[in-house]
Amino acid sequence: DTEVTQTPKHLVMGMTNKKSLKCEQHMGHRAMYWYKQKAKKPPELMFVYSYEKLSINESVPSRFSPECPNSSLLNLHLHALQPEDSALYLCASSRGTGDNYEQYFGPGTRLTVT
Amino acid sequence: DAKTTQPNSMESNEEEPVHLPCNHSTISGTDYIHWYRQLPSQGPEYVIHGLTSNVNNRMASLAIAEDRKSSTLILHRATLRDAAVYYCILRGGFGNTGKLIFGQGTTLQVKP
């Protein structure tokens, strides 16, 4: 099973709402990632978790709060977002953070902030 | 971090081979060359990676120049399903941190 699942597929939220995105993998991978992709642009790395600890935060605003409750799950908590945060949010996982490891991506959550 | 240069777009005909080029003239000795693709409305998909030698897998082949300053992703027989954005990415500049930095990629169109 090389699948990374993400829920929900689509999310519409107001600027005052709090919502969460969920990502799950059962490949035994110990590294998990959040990416953001705007329309017609390449994905941009947001966060890296290694062995359930946050190892990289690419200067992401605090209205995005990641959480890794266990080795299979990765959440992204959203609060007080802006319309420019509307994008496709992608989760990925890999065996580790080594440069020789490939990353497996989920289908993404398409977020619209109104 | 070493950068890659890819053509913005390429076209191919269905059932013909496709050679997607990537230039990386500032590659360092420890940089791996990774290729990912992203089909419309999907997340990126790993294709292949290599360090020095040519690599083959069920999806594609990766040909790496002897001086490693360029590489070519080879799809042996293009299908309509291969229409996607193909990203050539160097990994090594961030020291095994997991960082995967996407460039603009090459948009491949496959004509029936």
pLDDT over threshold 90, residue B112: yes
Query: What distance, in Å, lies between the first and last C-alpha atoms of chain A?
Result: 36
Model pLDDT for residues B5-55, shown as the tens digit of each residue: 999 999 999 999 999 999 999 999 899 999 999 999 999 999 999 999 999
pLDDT score of B92: 87
Rounded Cα distance, A96 and A104, in Å: 12
Q: Which residue of B has its CA nearest to A37?
A: B43
Give the one of A42, A44, A98 whose C-beta lies nearest to B105's C-beta. A42
Confidence bin at B1 (pLDDT 50/70/90): low
- Say yes or no for a CB contact (<8 Å) between B31 and A105: no
**A18 CA to chain B: closest CA distance, Å?**
25
The whole-number pLDDT of residue B5 equals: 96
Chain B residues bordering chain A (beta-carbon distance below 8 Å): 30-32, 34, 36, 38, 42-46, 49, 51, 85, 87, 91-92, 96-105
Percent of chain A past pLDDT 70, that is, above it, reads: 98
pLDDT band at A85 (very low <50, low <70, confident <90, very high): very high
Per-residue pLDDT at B96 exceeds 90: no
Q: Which of B9, B100, B104, B107 to mutate against chain A (most A CBs within 10 Å)?
A: B100
Pairing of strands B106-111, B9-13: parallel
Cβ atoms of B62 and B49 closer than 8 Å? yes
At A29-79, the pLDDT tens digits run 999 999 999 999 999 999 999 999 999 999 999 999 999 999 999 999 999
